[in-house]
Amino acid sequence: MKRSILCAAGARPNFMKVGPVLDQIGRGGRLDGVLVHTGQHYDAGMSEAFFRDLGIREPDIHLGVGSLSPARQVARILELMEPVIARIRPACVLVVGDVNSTLACALAAVKGGVPLAHVEAGLRSRDRAMPEELNRILTDAASDLLFTTSPDADENLAAEGIPPEKIHRVGNVMIDSLRALEGAARASDILDRVGVRERGYALVTLHRPSNVDQEEDLRRIVEVLAETARRLPVVFPVHPRTRACLADRGMLAGLEAGSAIHIRPPEGYIDFLRMMMGARIVLTDSGGIQEETTVLGIPCLTMRQNTERPITISAGTNRLVGSDPRRVLDAVDQALAEPPAHPRIPDLWDGRAAGRIVEILERIYA
């Protein structure tokens, strides 16, 4: 009888990481993968489209948590996961990334007496005002297996007293999804549908509370978008919570009226990957996009004061620019004036990280 690995995911960044692992578990044949979708992201553009594009099978269990405050969301997922773990009794619970679902499912595993594995362990921004930072620290502290993407992650865990035998550098499973779908992305006609040309636009994604929750911060973002659009067209797939913040403060209509700013709903993974591949520059506050643009060689301006992925700066195309409009626009001008960078792709970011993860899981649990 095969032993089960319960793979938990709940938000858009999770799906790109859990998909390749599930696929490799199925190919190995020595373990059984059980997929639990918490429902943290429930919008079709943030969930169903990603499952379709990434070829992830329907979840075995869908908790349907939906939109709640962070504390209530964690509590509700923990409450619903407890009987799931008790019923399945998996050999291991595997969580990915750093969202609320990651922490909640990690706590459920620990309380249920089941070993815990964390994919993308050890990333640190050193900013505990960032909700994801606490999720990362707490999940890592509870984990039995910590799968890391880079040397700095290994060093962070060692500094926190994690025994070295628990730490396994396997590479970046997010790049597995990128490499697997590059061909499909190149065939996408999304640029024609949007009305932009190759290397002729800026791609923007913004969703973090530090950028969009407060009106003053949001007005700075709108100023950056308007000024960037004077230099080249802007394509802006708008996260649902960002759209709500813009609409509530009366800023959305003005952006939609601008002919050089293309306001879009959230895109599926294949179309969004094509947008990244074709962009002249990317402005973002996302974590994963810093990694993807490094591999693609696209200049990335991260509108944050810190990053948990410093290797994208030292080896890649990423640059921290904050949110001050003058500083951001100076960086935009510099990026437009320079040829695209030729990054050094970090070791093990080769599209085969999931295979290394499953090999370790099979060795321990099969």
Q: What is the pLDDT of residues 171-191, one digit of tens each?
A: 999 999 999 999 999 999 999
Same domain, residue pair 44 and 125:
yes
Instruction: Quote the mean pLDDT of the chain.
Output: 94
Instruction: Decide if 342 is inside a domain.
Output: no
Range of the domain at 194: 181-337
Residue 167 main-chain phi, psi, to 5 deg: -95, 130
Q: What is the pTM of this model?
A: 0.94
State the burial class of residue 305 (Cβ atoms within 10 Å of its Cβ: 0-12, 13-18, 19+): middle
Q: What are phi and psi of 308, to 5 degrees?
A: -85, 5
Q: How far is CA 321 from CA 61, 138, 285, 331, in A?
A: 41, 28, 10, 7
Side-chain half-sphere exposure of 115, counting CA atoms within 13 A: 14
| The predicted structure's pLDDT at residue 272 | 96
Q: Which CATH number covers residue 261?
A: 3.40.50.2000
One domain, residues 320 and 234: yes
Structure confidence at residue 46 (pLDDT): 54
What is the arithmetic mean of pLDDT over 103-130?
97
Average pLDDT of the residues in 194-202 = 97
pLDDT at 40: 84
167, 209: one domain: no
Instruction: Evaluate whether residue 124 is within a structural domain.
Output: yes
Report the distance separating Cα 8 and Cα 15, nearest Å: 9
Active site residues: 207
Average the pLDDT over 69-77 and give the result.
Answer: 93
Same domain, 167 and 188: no
CA distance 273 to 17: 15
Helices marked H in 2-161: 12-28, 48-54, 70-88, 100-111, 131-142, 151-159
| CA-derived radius of gyration, the chain | 20
Position 9 scores a pLDDT of 93
Whether 344 is in a domain gets the answer no
Judge if 7 and 154 occupy the same domain.
yes
User: Contact, 262 vs 288, CB < 8 A?
Assistant: no
* Among candidate residues 126, 251, 276, 117, the one with its CA nearest the CA of residue 188: 276
- Each residue of 286-342: pLDDT tens digit? 999 999 999 999 999 999 999 999 999 998 899 999 999 999 999 999 999 988 778
pLDDT tier at 47, thresholds 50, 70, 90: low
- Note the pLDDT of residue 340: 78
Q: 160 and 12, same structural domain?
A: yes
Mean pLDDT computed over 213-242: 93
DSSP class per residue in 329-342: HHHHHHHHHSPPP-
% the chain with pLDDT above 90? 81
| pLDDT confidence tier of residue 41, bands split at 50, 70 and 90 | low
Residue 74 region, left (φ>0) first, then alpha (ψ -120 to 50), else beta?
A: alpha
| Mean pLDDT computed over 240-247 | 90
The answer to whether 171 and 356 have CB atoms below 8 angstroms apart is yes
Which of 8-22, 135-149, 171-185 has the weakest average pLDDT?
A: 8-22
Both 7 and 75 in one domain: the answer is yes
What's the N-to-C CA distance of the chain in angstroms?
10
pLDDT confidence band for 44 (50 / 70 / 90): low
Whether residues 7 and 156 fall in one domain:
yes
- pLDDT in the model for residue 256: 85
Does 1 have pLDDT greater than 90? no
CB 99 within 8 A of CB 40: yes
More confident residue, 13 or 275: 275
Contact 276, 289 (CB under 8 A): yes
Q: How far is CA 307 from the centre of its chain?
A: 13
Q: Are 208 and 304 a contacting pair, CB within 8 Å?
A: yes
Verify that 57 and 152 share a domain, yes or no.
yes
Cα distance between residue 275 and residue 269, in whole Å: 10
Residue 142 CB coordination number (10 Å): 16
Percent of the chain at pLDDT above 70?
Answer: 98
Residue 55 predicted with pLDDT over 80: yes
